[in-house]
Structures are given as C-alpha cells and as structure tokens.
Structure 1
Amino acid sequence: MKILYLLFALFFLVVQSSAQVADRDVIGTAKCLLRRGGCFVVRCPRGTRKIGECFTFTPCCRS
C-alpha cells in the first residue's frame, strides 16, 4: 500500500513538469506570432530568417 502513495507522487510530478513544458511552448509560439513570425519545423524556409524560437527545434522565422 505504501508503494501506491509513491506512485501517486511520481505521477503528480510527471504531470506537473509536462504542463510547464507545454506552457513554455505556448508562450514561445505567442511571442513569435506577436513578432509577425511563424513557427517551422527544424529550420526556416528559403527567403526567411530566424528571429527566435517557438520551442525546442522549432525556430520562429520571418521574411
């Protein structure tokens, strides 16, 4: 029965940390859109330049 409490605590920590990552991604995307940019996967397309990051491996690009 004691292990159940430990598993619950571990589950709570995992859920809490993943929510923080998701919030950070949303904030990064919002900042990119406010700067009139767009989020792209891995690299910026031709004719655009990197002006920031939306989240990991996702640059914010603008022409």
Structure 2
Amino acid sequence: MIKEMNQKFGIPEKLRGLGKIDEKSYHDAVEKMALTALNDRCTPTNPALVTKFDLANILRDAF
C-alpha cells in the first residue's frame, strides 16, 4: 500500500530517485551523518538500541 501511494504521489523509493543528490558526496557523508544521528538527543529513546554501524547501513540502504 505504501509503495502504491508513493508511486501515485511521485515519491521515489530511494533517495537517489530524487536526482538531486550526488552519490559520491552522499556516501562520503554517511559516517558523519551516522555519528550525528547517534549523538542526537532523541536516539536514546528509540525502542531499539542502534550503533553507528547500524545507522550507517540504514543511510547507505536509503540511497
């Protein structure tokens, strides 16, 4: 259902589908983005514990 709604509204499945993000720049920034997310004050309240490695993998997969 979500995928169909995304298609209907023109929302890409991945960030690369936006066409505005340089892939190399994005991947170069993944470690910094993961560390920033890990240090965010909301992260400790997540229902699941995550590591910087986990967050980096999520970010890579999102691209």
TM-score (norm: length of structure 2) = 0.28
TM-score (norm: length of structure 1) = 0.28
